[in-house]
Structure 1
């Protein structure tokens, strides 16, 4: 059965030990630690490593992505974005994780798409060379279909990563249909994990039981792929209401061993 994990952003205002304890007590296998969350809350590597030993939960890292663009026309922004991803790679190494999730770049302005593909490949080479030094895997997330996003399909992702030993992350909320989810599951040979949350039309990352997708059946299909499944969302509520809503739903439909 697939491991089930939770994004740390669903516990934005929780203390680090509280995060570990809640996931452990609910039988969750893994935490995807957002690097921006880690930095913003001023968590320490030493405490994280100590808690990882106390509460045996696996970790992966989601790179910095807000305000960044790995394919930016602006060389300074592009290089700063690469350096932020490198910081996330080093964080993953320091806490004992083996993979970093990375948002690919996007267009600065509409125009020659090939320019942005070339910029993205330049950035990716730097990232892969650096990650290789620490034996950290890079998993590029297939993005939602909004203006200026380029890498919104498996085919576009495979085009830019040709020749690079990358993995891919399927985000169900970024897909427009269950058929698209199934296509990626069937066709992607380097899928490392699946992000799950629901969507209501254009509103993405809603709770699993509130949206266009019926996760009572879809989750079974996703679990059959036998790769890690990460519950995503963002919640600043100190009661962690969205997290608990999702965990209760998972338990109710028998989606957790």
Structure 2
């Protein structure tokens, strides 16, 4: 059975321990902790608090970490923005080592202007990867780079582009974002699996419809097809629900969020039955 986790950002407005308790109550077996989870981020990223939550909820270990990305861009034309973005990613790798997380998901960055990436942007990208490689060396933490939506200024938004980066960086891993791939087509998900599945370390599972992203998976035949494909290919890493809580018709209470996750869990289990 795949390890079903959820992004901590689904519980955007709650304290860290309450997030972990709610995920465990829903029957999930993992959590992807976004460093920018507000209660943690806005209070200065208190490491002892996260360590305590991990110790109190061993059923959710090992967790994964998502490096900070909001307002950040490691390939920014602004050198101070680029430097800060890289440093936050490095600190996310260090955090993973401190709390026993096995995977850190990072975004590749983008060209600042809404134009195709240039040589300058790819040079920044190489600098970024070098910093991450140095940070991860000897820690046992897998750094996994995520595929982005197909936008004109995206650096990594095709299976071929991802394969090229993975081949050039044997130490690097891959986080498949299903909704980002589905922005192209349902088949694009399987092209990523065919070309890059050997380096898969994390999967962000959610659906896409029209212009909406990160929708729940319960009831979706496309989600079932992805889950079954992962199982058939022998993937045993985290399967991380990445659900946008604002996509629902009303603000969800804590109890409703737990119910949503129970429904998601039942559906994924049914897909594998």
* TM-score, structure 2 normalization: 0.84
Deviates most, 216-225 or 97-106: 216-225
Structural mapping, 1:131-210, within 5 Å:
131-132=136-137, 134-161=139-166, 162-175=168-181, 176-188=184-196, 189-209=198-218
Separation in 2 of the partners of 1:226 and 1:250?
16
In the other structure, the counterpart of 1:25 is 25
Alpha-carbon contact 1:36-1:64 (below 8 Å) kept = yes
Alpha-carbon contact 2:116-2:154 (below 8 Å) kept = no
In the other structure, the counterpart of 1:89 is 93
Separation in 2 of the partners of 1:159 and 1:209?
34
Structure 2 residues not aligned, in runs of 5+: 246-250
Separation in 1 of the partners of 2:112 and 2:224?
39
Output one character per residue of 1:32-61: Cα deviation in whole Å (capped at 9) or x when no partner. Answer: 000111313656322322232222112111
From 212, 227, 232, the equivalent of 2:242 is: 232
Deviates most, 43-52 or 83-92: 43-52
Structural mapping, 1:73-152, within 5 Å:
73-109=77-113, 110=115, 113-132=118-137, 134-152=139-157
* TM-score, structure 1 normalization: 0.89
- Secondary structure of the 1:139 match is strand
Deviates most, 240-249 or 137-146: 240-249
Q: Higher relative contact order by CA 8 Å / sep ≥ 6: 1 or 2?
A: 1
Count of aligned positions: 256
Alpha-carbon contact 1:71-1:78 (below 8 Å) kept = yes
Output one character per residue of 1:49-84: Cα deviation in whole Å (capped at 9) or x when no partner. Answer: 223222211211100001111112222221111111
Residues 77/185 of structure 1: CA separation in 2 closer, same or farther (3 Å cut)? same
Alpha-carbon contact 1:11-1:234 (below 8 Å) kept = no
- Secondary structure of the 1:71 match is coil
Query: Which structure's residues are more often helix, by fraction?
Result: 2
